[in-house]
Amino acid sequence: MEQALADIRVLDLGQLVQGPQAAATLADMGADVIKIELPQVGDLARWIFCSQTDLRAPYFEASNRGKRGMTLDLRTTEGASIFKQMVRSADVVISNFKPGTLEEWGLGYDDLCMVNKSIICAAGSTFGPIGPDAQMEGADLAGQCAGGLVSTIGYDGTPLSPVGATIADHIASQNLLSGILAALYSRERTGLGQLIEGSLVGGQIWAQASEYTHFLLTDEVPGRGHYSHPLLRGVYGIFQTSDGWIGIIGVPPDSRDAFFIAMGQPELALDERYQGLLASREDLDELFELLNPVFKTKTTEQWSNELRSMSVRYAPVRDYRQAVADEGLWQNGYFQEAKDNAGSNQRIVGTPIRMSGTPLSPSGNVPELGQHTDEIMKNLGYSESEILALRDQHII
Domain regions of the chain by residue span? 9-207+366-392, 236-317
What's the pLDDT score for residue 342? 82
User: Exposed, middle or buried by CB within 10 Å (0-12, 13-18, 19+), for 90?
Assistant: buried
What's the pLDDT score for residue 281? 84
What's the pLDDT score for residue 53? 95
What's the pLDDT score for residue 234? 86
Contact 306, 241 (CB under 8 A): no
Q: Which residues contact 78 (CB under 8 A, 6 or more apart)?
A: 390, 393, 395
Instruction: Report percent pLDDT > 70 for the chain.
Output: 99
What's the pLDDT score for residue 272? 83
CATH topology for 236-317?
formyl-coa transferase, domain 3 (3.30.1540)
Specify whether domain 9-207+366-392 bears CATH 3.40.50.10540.
Answer: yes
What's the pLDDT score for residue 81? 97
Q: Which residues, given as ranges, of the chain have pLDDT below 70?
A: 277-278
User: Exposed, middle or buried by CB within 10 Å (0-12, 13-18, 19+), for 190?
Assistant: exposed
pLDDT in tens, 254-294: 899 999 999 999 998 888 888 776 678 888 889 999 999 99
* Residue 180 backbone phi and psi in degrees, to 5: -65, -45
* Residue 49 backbone phi and psi in degrees, to 5: -90, 160
What's the pLDDT score for residue 275? 79
